[in-house]
């Protein structure tokens, strides 16, 4: 499913480039603190999935159950850091996620488990993301961008739900929008009245699209309907936060940044800290899939294929080029990674080649 990340990414990037092509901001959160943003995004994703399934009583249908299956992957974005800070909390969170999955599989009442996982996730958030960072406008703006541009998020959820006939993604998009509104309520304090009114207008348009947790039947309409107000919203919050949230404006700079993050991940793998290393690969894979994969798939297909294969094998984040080439029964299968440290090195080499392709 992560292959669908890119379906609107090109439009998103173009919109950002047109809106603020020559803008320069004081902060670049995806460059300045990529791992911090990625860990926080993982926790936000868990809270988004939990809110979505909490809108429905047991038994959850198979589509909604897919949101629960994503929780383990979401946790991988931060679990190594959490385990280093509080091993008991990390173990408890993983156990509660597993218990929630079992309840959903058995058709049992999941609401109690939802509350437990949410509470533990909030404790993890408080522990591993410093309060001064969480209050930072740049940090908040980057999270809004993640929840807007990420797979199943505000901009993508509606499109994917219609095009792929997966209505649970509408529910995920609705839940992402609730998180975006909560984050915007924090960022709003930094806006002028005119800026706030403009963002509020875009959010009102998105509220009209995501009018309820459950999609209408049948779910029909323009798949791109959420794209324009979502992109406009992001363009509006950049000057409010003095932060660049379209990380792909300078693809060479992004590739260089990904090399640095990946090198750090490989050092963690080499030291035997596989969970911490995997956090880095998630941070790299998210930005690669969102911004670089489409361009490199065209300009340097061999480099792209190597990077995409390793990212998918380690994280499950998939790029657009892997569409429906295999039988439906096999499309969710991921190859086993016998040596994650070696795979990390292969991805690092591919990203270094990507920098060269992009003129570095």
- Is 291 a residue whose pLDDT tops 70? yes
- Domain residues for the domain of 131 are 29-241
Confidence check: pLDDT of 18 > 70:
no
Does 180 lie in the same domain as 277? no
Distance separating alpha carbons of residues 14 and 294, to the nearest angstrom = 13
Whole-number pLDDT of residue 312:
96
Instruction: Specify whether 336 is located in the same domain as 227.
Output: no
pLDDT score of 326 more than 80:
no
Q: Do 214 and 280 fall into the same domain?
A: no
Q: CA-CA distance, 337 to 115, in Å (whole number)? A: 34
SS3 at position 211: coil
Looking at 218, 241, 264, the residue that finishes a domain is 241
Lowest pLDDT segment from 101-115, 127-141, 206-220, 313-327: 313-327
Answer yes or no: do 75 and 167 share one domain.
yes
Domain closes at, from 241, 269, 288:
241
Distance CA 243, CA 40 (A): 17
What separation in angstroms does the CA of 44 have from each of 173, 223, 275, 312?
Answer: 13, 25, 19, 21
Q: What is the pTM of this model?
A: 0.91
| Residues, the chain | 360
Q: Which two tokens stand for residue 56?
A: 């429905």
Contacts for 206 with CB less than 8 Å, ≥ 6 apart:
154, 177, 226, 229, 230, 233
Question: How confident is the model at residue 229, as a pLDDT?
Answer: 97
Whether 207 and 183 share a structural domain: yes
- What does the pLDDT look like over 98-137, one tens digit per residue? 999 999 999 999 999 999 999 999 999 999 999 999 999 9
Q: What is the mean pLDDT of residues 33-53?
A: 98
3-state secondary structure of 358: coil
Q: Is the pLDDT of residue 20 over 70?
A: no
Percentage of the chain surpassing pLDDT 90? 81
Same domain for 209 and 108: yes
Q: How far apart are the first and last CA of the chain?
A: 31
Same domain, 36 and 14: no
Number of domains in the chain: 2
- Render pLDDT for 256-281 as a digit per residue (tens, 0 to 9): 999 999 999 999 999 999 999 999 99
The pLDDT value given to residue 23: 57
Q: What's the mean pLDDT in 150-165?
A: 88
Query: What average pLDDT does this structure show over 333-346?
Result: 92
Place of tokens 């005119």: 194
Q: What does the pLDDT read at residue 165? A: 81
Same domain (yes/no): 120, 211: yes
Q: Give every CB contact of residue 134 below 8 A, 6+ residues apart in sequence.
A: 40, 125, 140
Same-domain pairing of 90 and 123 = yes
Same domain, 113 and 187: yes
116 and 234 housed in the same domain: yes
Q: Kindly state whether residues 309 and 195 are assigned to the same domain.
A: no
């Amino acid at each position: 499913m992560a292959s669908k990340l890119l379906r609107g990414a090109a439009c998103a990037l173009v919109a950002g480039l047109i809106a603020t092509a020559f803008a320069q901001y004081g902060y670049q959160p995806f460059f300045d603190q990529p791992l911090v943003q990625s860990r926080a995004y993982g926790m936000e994703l868990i809270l988004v999935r939990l809110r979505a399934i909490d809108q429905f009583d047991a038994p959850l249908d198979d589509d909604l159950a897919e949101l629960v299956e994503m929780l383990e992957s979401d946790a991988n974005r931060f679990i190594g850091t959490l385990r280093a800070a509080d091993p008991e909390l990390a173990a408890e969170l993983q156990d509660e996620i597993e218990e929630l999955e079992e309840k959903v599989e058995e058709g049992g009442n999941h609401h109690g488990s939802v509350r437990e996982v949410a509470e533990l996730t909030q404790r993890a958030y408080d522990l591993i993301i410093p309060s001064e960072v969480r209050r930072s406008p740049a940090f908040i703006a980057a999270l809004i961008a993640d929840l807007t541009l990420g797979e199943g998020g505000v901009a993508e959820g509606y499109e994917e739900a219609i095009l792929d006939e997966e209505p649970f993604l509408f529910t995920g998009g609705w839940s992402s929008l609730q998180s975006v509104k909560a984050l915007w309520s924090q960022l709003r304090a930094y806006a002028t009245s005119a800026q706030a009114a403009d963002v509020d207008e875009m959010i009102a348009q998105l509220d009209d699209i995501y009018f309820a947790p459950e999609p209408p039947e049948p779910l029909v309409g323009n798949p791109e309907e959420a794209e324009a107000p979502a992109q406009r919203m992001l363009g509006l919050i950049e000057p409010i936060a003095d932060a660049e949230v379209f990380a792909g404006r300078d693809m060479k700079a992004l590739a260089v940044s990904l090399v640095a993050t990946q090198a750090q991940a490989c050092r963690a793998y080499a030291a035997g800290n596989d969970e911490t290393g995997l956090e880095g690969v998630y941070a790299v894979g998210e930005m690669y899939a969102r911004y670089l994969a489409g361009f490199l798939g065209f300009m340097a297909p061999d480099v792209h294929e190597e990077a995409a294969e390793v990212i998918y094998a380690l994280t499950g984040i998939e790029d657009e080029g892997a569409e429906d080439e295999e039988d439906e029964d096999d499309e969710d299968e991921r190859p086993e990674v016998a040596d994650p440290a070696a795979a990390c090195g292969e991805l690092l080499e591919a990203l270094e080649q990507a920098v060269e392709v992009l003129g570095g």
